[in-house]
């Protein structure tokens, strides 16, 4: 159903080489892997000599790799809006600016989410109907048709934001998962209306009037069993949930390997454990995904990404560019906005 | 290290026979199982003829079962404080009153948590230093030395409540897990100070000054890996997490059984799968546990408890009574209160 854009020229992606726990080493390594496998043209943005040092360790024969010098780096713990303003020459800001200026078709960063968000908002803005971007994806492989919104881009939300999350999640489910009229549930501590704290209760009221396919509250156990296509929650809760399942998947996979041990052929065991880990935490394999709602393709990779996750993030970014992720979001959002009523008024 | 109280007379437990999705059938069945195995004296509180109908189906020869008539039932969706006031003859209120009056040593209910809380508060009150009770237990078997507070008794919390949670969790870890000076972490979206919404940021400040063994923020992945002994969070988040891991455990165990299937001997497979499920969701096996902070033993069972979970809840309740759960909590709380400063003042 997707109209693929197959450009004549290779897709260009700017890579914040300085963002992430293992930057720049693993970022550069992952980027080179991606350039080799995916035929993309990459712009590594960051401190020039540090990137060069990393590149020298690798085989880059025949690859199209460009280094874009940045003077600054935004690190975890800085106040995002202030840091982006104060550091226009930081790697994440330059990477974003390249997309705005049409020098890149998309960008990726494993730096602080807040800084990526602000840099993207400042240079690209949002699509009509979204005040702020969200992070939105399935978090459990057992429920691959269930997306969670928001996964950490928005912390401490107001009621109307839950309606935006529901709309964004619905559009994501329609465009990315091919679901025609996605069901939406509000993550809560009980099934009955009236559960939760005041903001959640108000969000329920707004969702009821939103025109979206809202089926009511869902609880924690409804996520892995895929009860609805879109689970809306504050980014605070979503972020804790996705990290919890990642950590749990890792611990459980190690346990399984030790527990099953010699009771199964090692070939079979490896397959089962890898498959299990994917089901527990597909995101750890996927790599980062594009922010949903930015008017440009901006992928957020996990801060602890290694080369393989960076490679996968670039793969996802390329796929989003090719499939017209942003224009499809805009289009479907326009349709949904005719139904939606974020203020809940009659 | 616990000083066991072995009473001459059998321990008496009042059972809210009407609370829970499968009440009264599964509640009565579980109670009879417990009476048979544990030698406790049970008081089944509820609509008399309904309980009698269930008892007739079962073998109760030689058991000490008493029926205490109640006229009313508090159901999910009722406003708890109002319902408890309006229905003094409801099963959960009468069960609580029996503990207050010394007719029972403890009680259990699988009814709405809010109603159990209010009934317990109204008739027993809290121990000194706790304004409201909390639900506090390990939620992941891989991290059996890590308790989460609160798991759903308190929704939409103020900053000072996080200090109470931390104190209660510390006391729980000391008395129930034998940990001398439990480490405490604040569940958040990042490791650095300053993360989260305003209430969380204020809670961080108060925890820093609390005199507890506070080590800072922890993230979702830190729970399964057991980074700290006590993870404090709003009951909204805790409740979603415990239900999420329950649901995930069930789905993952079924998947594992199908996936491994004929690659392993069925005997081995059953053991691995059962063991795995326990590690993912020990609470589903445990049954309900006592509220932490009530001046009496009041166990909250999951609303979807079947007979086996009710039996286990009664087992946990008996153990709490025998081990002097409440008096040990009081004692340790007294020690900790000398250090603690919930208002965060100098």
Tens of pLDDT, residue by residue over A49-102, are: 999 999 999 999 988 889 999 999 999 888 889 999 999 999 999 999 999 999
Residue B11 per-residue DSSP state = P
Q: What is the DSSP string of B256-314?
A: HHHHHGGGS-HHHHHHHHHHHHHHH-HHHHH--EEPBSBSSEEEE--TT--HHHHHHHH
8 Å CB contact of A248 and B248: yes
Q: What residue in A sits closest to B193 (Cα-Cα)?
A: A77
Pair A221, A251: CB distance under 8 Å: no
- Residue B8 pLDDT > 80: no
Helix (H, G, I), strand (E, B) or coil at B35: helix
pLDDT digits 0-9 by tens, A186-215:
999 999 899 999 999 999 999 999 889 999
pLDDT score, position B344: 47
> ipTM score of the complex?
0.88
Give the span between the Cα atoms of B327 and B335, in whole angstroms. 13
Pair A183, A228: CB distance under 8 Å: yes
Q: Which of B236, B272, B276 to mutate to test the interface with A (most CBs of A within 10 A)?
A: B236
- Chain B residues in contact with A192 by the CB 8 A cut-off are 76-77
Give the span between the Cα atoms of B213 and B228, in whole angstroms. 10
Q: Which of A159, A190, A198 to mutate to test the interface with B (most CBs of B within 10 A)?
A: A190
- Chain B residues in contact with A152 by the CB 8 A cut-off are 189
- Model pTM greater than 0.90? no
Helix (H, G, I), strand (E, B) or coil at A45: strand
pLDDT digits 0-9 by tens, B165-188:
999 999 889 888 889 999 999 999
Q: Give me the mean pLDDT over the A102-125 stretch.
A: 95
Lowest mean pLDDT among A220-229, A302-311, B327-336: B327-336
pLDDT digits 0-9 by tens, A208-259:
998 899 999 999 999 999 999 999 999 999 999 999 999 999 999 999 999 9
pLDDT score, position B11: 95
8 Å CB contact of A272 and B259: yes
* Strand A297-300 with A289-290, pairing: antiparallel
Pull the structure tokens for residue A231: 């689970």
8 Å CB contact of B247 and A221: yes
Pair A276, B248: CB distance under 8 Å: no
Q: What residue in B sits closest to A241 (Cα-Cα)?
A: B220
Residues contacting residue A267 through CB under 8 Å, at least 6 positions apart: none
Give the span between the Cα atoms of B268 and B289, in whole angstroms. 31
| C-alpha torsion B66→B71→B75→B79, nearest 10 | -120
* Strand A12-16 with A41-46, pairing: parallel
- Residue B5 pLDDT > 60: no
* Strand A184-187 with A214-218, pairing: parallel
- Residue B189 pLDDT > 90: yes
| C-alpha torsion A319→A323→A329→A332, nearest 10 | -150
8 Å CB contact of B244 and A255: no
pLDDT band at A338 (very low <50, low <70, confident <90, very high): confident
pLDDT score, position B335: 76
- Residue A343 pLDDT > 70: no
pLDDT band at B345 (very low <50, low <70, confident <90, very high): very low
- Chain A residues in contact with B244 by the CB 8 A cut-off are 220-221, 223-224, 241, 244-245
Share of residues in chain A with pLDDT > 70 (%): 95
Higher pLDDT, B332 or A254: A254
Q: Using alpha carbons, select from B240, B147, B159 the residue that is nearest to residue B197.
A: B159
8 Å CB contact of A259 and B275: yes
Would you say how long chain A is, in residues?
346
């Amino acid at each position: 159903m997707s109209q693929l854009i197959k450009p004549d020229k290779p897709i260009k992606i700017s890579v914040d080489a300085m963002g992430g726990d293992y930057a720049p080493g693993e970022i550069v390594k992952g980027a080179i892997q991606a350039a080799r496998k995916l035929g993309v043209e990459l712009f590594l943005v960051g401190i020039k000599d540090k990137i060069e040092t990393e590149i020298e360790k690798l085989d880059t024969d025949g690859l199209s790799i460009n280094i874009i010098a940045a003077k600054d780096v935004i690190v975890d713990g800085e106040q995002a809006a202030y840091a982006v303003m104060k550091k226009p020459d930081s790697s994440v800001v330059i990477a974003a600016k390249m997309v705005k200026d049409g020098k890149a078709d998309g960008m990726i960063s494993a730096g602080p989410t807040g800084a990526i968000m602000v840099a993207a908002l400042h240079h690209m803005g949002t699509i009509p109907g979204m005040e702020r971007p969200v992070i939105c994806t399935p978090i459990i492989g057992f429920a691959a048709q269930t997306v969670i919104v928001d996964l950490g881009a928005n912390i401490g939300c107001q009621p109307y934001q839950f309606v935006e999350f529901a709309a964004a999640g619905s559009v994501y489910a329609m465009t990315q998962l091919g679901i025609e009229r996605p069901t939406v549930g509000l993550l809560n501590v009980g099934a009955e209306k009236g559960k939760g704290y005041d903001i959640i209760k108000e969000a329920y009221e707004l969702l009821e009037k939103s025109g979206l396919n809202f089926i009511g509250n869902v609880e924690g156990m409804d996520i892995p069993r895929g009860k609805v296509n879109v689970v809306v929650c504050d980014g605070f809760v979503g972020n804790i949930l996705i990290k919890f399942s990642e950590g749990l998947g890792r611990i459980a996979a190690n346990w399984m390997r030790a527990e099953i041990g010699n009771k199964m052929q090692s070939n079979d065991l490896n397959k089962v454990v890898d498959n299990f880990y994917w089901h527990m935490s597909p995101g750890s394999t996927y790599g980062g995904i594009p922010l949903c709602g930015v008017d440009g393709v901006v992928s957020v990779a996990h801060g602890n990404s290694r080369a393989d996750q960076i490679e996968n993030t670039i793969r996802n970014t390329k796929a989003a560019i090719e499939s017209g992720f942003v224009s499809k979001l805009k289009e479907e959002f326009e349709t949904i906005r005719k139904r939606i009523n974020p203020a809940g008024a009659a």
